[in-house]
Structure 1
Amino acid sequence: MPSAEASPPRHQRFLRQYELIDRVKSYDPQADEALLDRAYVYAMRMHGGQLRASGDPYFAHPIEVAGILTDYRLDTAAIVTALLHDVIEDTVATRADIAGKFGEEVAELVEGVTKLSRLEMGGEHARQAENLRRFILAISKDVRVLMVKLADRLHNMRTLHHIAKPEKRERIARETLDIYAPLARSIGVHRICQELEELSFKHLNPTARDAILRRLETIRTEQGAAVATASGEVTARLEAAGIAARVHGRQKSAYSIWRKLQRKSVAFSQLSDIYGFRVIVDEEDDCYRALGVIHKAWPCVPERFKDYISTPKRNNYRSLHTTVVGPRGLRIELQIRTEAMDRVAEEGVAAHWRYKGQTYGFDAQAAGADGGRDPLINLRQLVQLMEHGGDAEEMVEHAKLEMYLDQVFVFTPKGQLISLPQGAMPLDFAYAVHTDVGDTAVGVKINGELRPLRTPLVNGDVVEVVRGHKPSAPPNWRSLTVTGRARSAIRRHLRMTEREEFMRLGRAAVDQVFARAGRDRAGVSLRPALDRFAQPTEEELYEQVGRGRVAGADVLESVFPGLKPSELTAASARTRIEDGRSARLYVRGGGLTPGVSLHFADCCSPVPGDRIVGILQPSGEGLAVHTIDCPRLADYEDQDDVWRDLHWTPQAEDNTVSRARLMATIRNAPGVLGQVCTLIGEAHGNIVNMHMHHRQSDFFDVDLDIDVAGARHLTNIAAALRACPSVETVDRTKG
């Protein structure tokens, strides 16, 4: 194959061969230049006249992916893999061709990336689960597969605006936000994670993003001089104390602010860390010295200090975090770290992975004081989510939960440190120690005192699991866990007992869909649906419907292929969740039997997406459904026999509408209420009632009853309102 430089079209500017090779050799002088040359030319020749949605030649994409990876100083094999990552998928090239021309190592890496791209057809949840499953299994063999795939997705997101169909752009952006960005965060590749989040946010919620950017621009105009002054004063204080440091300010990204508006019931103006400073010092001891100087100079904001140096995050992130009321009364967040810590913070897994003999992997010796733990350990633990099966909905949600949440550090009685996601409870701790410990747990002592199993763990707790003689996993235990490891183990105990309930739910859902379309299911053969969905019996089909893997409307269409569009629309229309029969279609678990009625507690007004539990009512009043944080649950603290573990079915957010209430404090000005209503409409919420009260000359409160698809939908509406300059506070009102 010729090694001479290929000639790209003149209208397209991307890395040329010599530029790419110069980048690689700048950090790896021993890089195989001939191999890089051959891969560059081979990629251009194989992709030939293929074009991307932008109209640019396709080979520009793998070249740009390779360029992204040079920023993380990946080895020659990874750069070659980036150049070739699409040739098996999109050209006539085979794995054997790659192995023959570029070696077995490159062939294995290219094959690994290719497998991640070949997603099986199926429902949205099943497709996401299969995506995640393949990621984890591929990562367990070689981290470079993940790095190439993340760089591939990053470049695709940078050019996503060229895709014409908005629904396709939204699907890709949602997948990026749900799967790829959390994976990047889990292995510490902060720069890729942040850019993926920002690009996804731009396509998923442009209105909210534009509103936040406008607010940031206003703040930059008003406080820009103060921020520059603060940076200079911090530097001067450290120099006076004899500490050499680089100090530079930064502004939070629009998406990170959006996440805070979602998580916290605060107004935009109350966010304390829109501006932050990074303080880079020479040695670890200097981090603590700098912290002392800063706290002596300016008051520290209570409960805003975190020491990630003594207790690093699972992705090896190490830094001191503090928030102070700095110069001119400006609240600023500071991150204090060494140069080595800063590199790990930005590059994550790429910072300490290198060849050790013939194997590419984590080099703890090279990591030194700033390394310590292979950051892929926590991702490999997610394999346990798949060991016991279960539905795709749970697997994706729990995996995302573990990847997104920060940590809490607790200890065994012998002093062993156990890191768990924030919000974890004693059963999560038990299963983190060992599966057998979790299976036989019957109680817990926290700091020497017996405590309920639903007690959230906090940093520094000493946890001792009280064990029984045989495995026991009551149905309500899944509501007492947040980690995928604990839930997958509990699911192993419950799977067989759930099957009958899923079949019953699926049968009821099919009956309802048929009734909406004016069709009687009695006497109708479901054979066409069995053939279409490859199910051997009607019971198996009903189970798939009950689990949300097959839609009831698709069963109807299979049996009656000639239905009018209006009949199909009626069959798939959203229904309001009410007590009794319709509620049972969308709530599962708790050992429900046909004779037990459901009703939603007025004290907390659950909507799909809320974590829920059931409380068995006295005198045959049925099961009351509460949110897991409902204050009324304290009344049943010592009555374990009345608790029932409940879950929403996957169809709940897709097929239903629920009513929820937001209470907003709004500036009293002309047109403001119209802005609020417009924001709710743009977020696809439907206002059904509005009540204004506590009206003053400057502010007033308004209760907004809104029809929403679920808790996530309501959270997005609330966050959109918080981004509005005229809205002071927004809170969900329950009851």
Structure 2
Amino acid sequence: MTEATNESPQREEQMIEAAYQNLLNGYLSSNHRKKVEIIEKAFRFAKEAHKGIRRRSGEPYIMHPIAVATIVSQEIGLGSTSICAALLHDVVEDTDYTIEDIEAQFGKKIAQIVEGLTKISGGIFGTHASAQAENFRKLLLTMSSDIRVILIKMADRLHNMRTLASMPPNKQYKIAGETLYIYAPLAHRLGLFAIKTELEDLSFKYEHPEAYKAIDEQIEKSAPHNQEVFARFAAPIRERLDKMGLKYEFKARVKNRYSIWKKMETKHIPFSEVYDFYAARIVFECPNEADEKRICWNIYSEITDLYRLHPDRTRDWISTPKANGYRALHITVMGPDGNWVEVQIRSRRMDDIAERGFAAHWKYKIGEGEEESELQAWLQTIEDILKNPEPNAVDFLDTIKLNLFAREIVVFTPKGELITLPNDSTVLDLAFTLHTEIGTHCIAGKINHKLVPLSYKLQSGDQVEVLTSKSQQPSPEWEKYLVTAKGKTRLRAALRHNRRKVIDKGQAQLTAFLEQNNVPVTNETMTRIVGSERVPNKEELFYMIGNNEIALSPQILKALRPASHGILNRLMRPFGNRSKQAHDTAAPEPATLAAHDIDYKKVYELKTVDGKPNYKLAPCCHPIPGDDVLGFVNDNNEVVVHKMDCETANRLKASFGPRIVQCRWETKSATFMATIAIEGIDRMGILQEIIYLISTNLAINIRRLDVSADEGVFHCELDVLIEDTEVVTNLCKRLKKVKGVNSASRVS
């Protein structure tokens, strides 16, 4: 927190005042009522409170609250109350001042927001999983009372990401991981598109610096060509828009680095094959909101007169806005270079809301109550989750994340009521969305009057009727048919409720049985029965009895007789030994490290020590030398290596940041398993050519080969032993040269 700075006190004072003046100038040029006096008071108060404190970068701490307040004002568009709260957001946590002091100086509303920010300080996540879930619950509950808390928290996170370079590598991984895991999708859900994009790119920059740099250079290199293509595409459209008499802005928006990289990774393609590299955006001025829809469709008509329309990629977010308030008309047409180009058509008002989210409504004279009411629909979707949280903290976070990431579809009830659901939602999701009772008794659905199973995936525009039966009971199998957080939470709650009834029934049956046979109902008795029946605990014993999986027979009584005590011990001993043996077998081969052997601030060298690796490869992503990797120190103090973009690694970074280690491959002496997927046009002899190339020409050991062909197209998947990613890259390059092979890429 405290590094020396070379700035003189006088220069520092000038720097602080200049930053504050910039904040004030931005606020004065906004449409908000001018309340400069209270902002000035908050600034002077915070400056005095943080006096003498420095950030890790060495700059005075007050620069951080000023930066957060500037983002809140100029990038999100909030007013004086939020600016004051942003200036004061760290005062209670980092100094001796209390919430009561803030309320006395600045009033109840600002104090409430500062208190909300203090409750969730230190990020959504702490050191322990249970604390993480609890902090996230606090954040969501606070958000439902005043949305400005989460908007200021977003600004705080954005500034922390912009200044992440001053943190050590393991902290960078943790913060970048939790940003991608929760903050970026939350920003997207709140409609803060510009912030979401920057958070993704900054996280990507610190997690995959080399990949980020490579994509950045490619974008720079291809910019002149793309500008030329866009100019040719835009010229005839501009001509039409000018004839319409519109005042507009027409520009190309390049995909953000993270999106490009995700597409390359998901589709296993190089940068040169990312064709939807940019989207064109038309933003027109329209003083009368009632005319916006008509003008959007007029522009649509003019563009489709010029270029061929892709019929399946038109999105009308004007008639049916997204849940986060997003409105626009998206169309995709064939550009002059033969590639599809997406064109986004928006009014200036729509564009502001798309970029800055709900807060932009203030600019258009929508009051606080109205703005906050727009968020209630989303907040209500998590209300059940807050009331009935998952017992497992990581499950809880994953359940919330389902809603954050969701793309949406719109369906209709038989009465014409419109319901918004995440993409891929099923009949069962809709049933649980309507009511828990409807969900638990759902047997099927009717889509446009046609009978479908409860697992049927809904499409936008479907009219859906849910069919129920009182005799229907929920099943654990149903979880695989659900994608909504609400559905999963309500199903699990129903299953727990039903399970509890069976457990109570089983306990009552066992108690009655023991009493009938004059056996004392004690903990020792129950423990003996648990051991003799080979079940993990009493709850499972009661459940199996209540579910008729264990019969109450004389056999149970035999295990309780004193004469059989020795037999009981002998019966239980193998169980105990098996447990230990299983633990020993599951123990990883790598040498266990003492806690002091791991320096989290330094790069951990992945190497072989006395014939054994000092690490363990994660089975979820199968990293190999050359991959961007990180290490996770597990409970046995072993370093488990994951690929940087592994989903499990993302959860670990977000949930257990302090255990993350920066890693580097040191040796290529070992071999690793990699899976290669090959696709192409089937022909006689192609498989022999592939095998000959791999095993003879390249001398690579094939361990598994799986081939299938269908209507002239073949798919091949093979496991090979290789030394590093360089070998894989070369192998895929050589395979693509085989006649008939269309693609060859490594899969995790």
TM-score normalised by structure 1 residue count: 0.68
Q: Does residue 1:112 correspond to 2:112, yes or no?
A: no
Aligned partner (choices 189, 193, 204) of residue 201 of structure 1: 204
| Local SS of the residue matching 2:145 | coil
How far does residue 486 in structure 1 lie from its aligned partner after superposition? 0.4
Give the corresponding residue for 1:361: 369
* Aligned pair partner of 1:85 in 75, 85, 89: 89
Change (3 A) 1:243 1:41: closer
**Is contact 1:226–1:330 with CA below 8 Å preserved after alignment?**
no
Match status 1:333 vs 2:342: yes
Aligned pairs (5 A) from 1:463-612: 463-469=464-470, 472-495=473-496, 497=499, 511=580, 514-515=583-584
Q: Which residue of 2 aligns with 1:62?
A: 65
Bigger Rg, structure 1 or 2: 2
Q: Which amino acid aligns with 1:258?
A: W
Which of 200-209 and 226-235 deviates more? 226-235
Cα 1:575/1:268, change in 2 over 3 Å: closer
* Matched residue type, 2:71: I
Alpha carbons 1:132, 1:179 under 8 Å: kept: no
Cα pair distance change 1:511/1:460, threshold 3 Å:
farther
Superposition deviation, residue 336 in structure 1: 0.4
Q: Which is further off, 235-244 or 262-271?
A: 262-271
Q: Deviations over 1:640-683 (max 9, x none)?
A: xxxxxxxxxx99xx9xxx977341579xxxxxxxxx9xxxxxxx
Aligned letter for 1:326?
Answer: G
Q: Give, in whole Å, the separation in 1 of the partners of 2:271 and 2:702.
A: 26
How many angstroms does 1:88 deviate by?
0.8
For 2:297, give the aligned amino acid: Y
1:97 to 95, 98, 101: 101
Asked if the contact 1:516–1:571 (Cα under 8 Å) also holds between the matched residues in 2, the reply is no
Aligned twin of 1:647:
none
1:231 aligns with 2:247: no
CA contact (8 A) 2:675 2:747 kept: yes
TM-aligned CA deviation for residue 123 of structure 1: 5.7
Identify the residue that residue 429 of structure 1 maps to in structure 2.
430
Q: CA deviation at 1:375?
A: 3.1
CA distance in 1, matches of 2:57, 2:485: 40
- Cα gap change, 1:436/1:261 in structure 2, threshold over 3 Å: closer, same or farther? farther
Cα distance in structure 2, aligned partners of 1:665 and 1:518: 38
Offset of residue 452 of structure 1:
2.0
Q: Quick check: 1:245–1:279 contact (8 Å CA) kept in 2?
A: yes
Once the two structures are superposed, residues 53-85 of structure 1 have per-residue CA deviations (whole angstroms, 9 ceiling, x without a partner) of 111111100000001111133121110000010
1:107-139 deviations in whole A, cap 9, x for unaligned? 111010011115698666445433321221011
Q: Does 1:168 align with 2:166?
A: no
**1:342-400 CA distances to partner (integer Å, 9 max, x unpaired)?**
1110111102259999x943349xxxxxxxx7034213421322322322222212222
The whole-number CA distance in structure 1 between the counterparts of 2:265 and 2:248 is 35
AA matched with 2:174: R
Report the identity percentage: 34
**TM-superposed deviation, 1:688:** 8.2
Distance 2:237 2:300 in 1: 11
Structure 1 residues 234 and 375: CA distance shift in structure 2, 3 A: farther
Contact persistence 1:354–1:363 (CA under 8 A): no
Alpha-carbon distance change, 211 to 513 in structure 1, aligned in 2, over 3 angstroms: farther
The Cα shift of 1:34 comes to 1.8
Residue by residue over 1:179-200, the C-alpha shift from the partner in whole angstroms, topping out at 9 and shown as x without a partner, is 1111111110111111111101
One-letter amino acid of the structure 1 residue matched with residue 370 of structure 2: F
- SS of the counterpart of 1:443? strand
- From the superposition, tell whether residues 186 and 120 of structure 1 become closer, same or farther in structure 2 (CA, over 3 Å): closer
Alpha-carbon distance change, 73 to 91 in structure 1, aligned in 2, over 3 angstroms? same
Q: Kindly state the Cα deviation for residue 458 of structure 1 after the two structures are TM-superposed.
A: 1.1
Which of residues 350, 353, 372 in structure 2 aligns to 1:344?
Answer: 353
The answer on whether the counterparts of 2:89 and 2:114 sit within 8 Å (CA) in structure 1 is yes
1:247 aligned to which of 250, 253, 270: 250
Label 1:428 to 1:349 Cα distance change in 2 as closer, same or farther (>3 A). same
Q: Determine whether 1:27 maps to 2:38.
A: no
**1:135 maps onto 2:139 in alignment:** yes
1:455 is matched with which residue? 456
Matches within 5 A, 1:655-670: 661-663=675-677
- Asked if 1 retains the 8 angstrom alpha-carbon contact of 2:440 and 2:494, the reply is no
Cα separation, partners in 2 of 1:354 and 1:91, compared to 1, 3 Å: farther
Q: Distance in 1 between matches of 2:586 and 2:248?
A: 71
Match of 1:310 in 2: 319
Match of 1:36 among 36, 39, 45: 39
Distance across 1 between alignment mates of 2:247 and 2:577: 70
Per-residue CA distance 1:130-178 (angstroms, 9 max, x = gap): 33212210110001101110000000000001112x1111000011111
Code of the aligned partner of 1:113: L
> What is the aligned partner in structure 1 of residue 566 from structure 2?
none
Provide closer, same or farther for how the CA distance between residues 38 and 576 of structure 1 changes in structure 2, counting only shifts above 3 A.
Answer: closer
For structure 1, which segment, 376-385 or 443-452, has the greater mean C-alpha deviation from structure 2 after superposition?
376-385
Give the corresponding residue for 1:639: none
> Paired residue for 1:156?
160
Change (3 A) 1:512 1:451: farther
TM-score (norm 2): 0.67
Distance in 2 (CA, whole Å) between partners of 1:508 and 1:608 is 35
Deviates more, 1:148-157 or 1:228-237: 228-237
- What corresponds to 2:564 in structure 1? none
Counterparts of 1:355 and 1:292, CA distance in 2? 28
Segment of structure 1 superposing worse, 65-74 or 394-403: 394-403
SS of match in other structure, 1:334: strand
User: 1:613-653: per-residue Cα shift (whole Å, max 9, x none)?
Assistant: xxxxxxxxxxxxxxxxxxxxxxxxxxxxxxxxxxxxx99xx
In 2, the alpha carbon distance for the partners of 1:435 and 1:241 equals 52
Q: 1:478 to 1:732 in 2, by over 3 A?
A: farther
Unaligned runs of 5+ in 1: 1-5, 365-372, 520-552, 557-565, 578-606, 610-649, 667-675, 677-685, 695-699, 709-713
Residues matched between the structures, number: 567
Counterparts of 1:363 and 1:10, CA distance in 2: 38
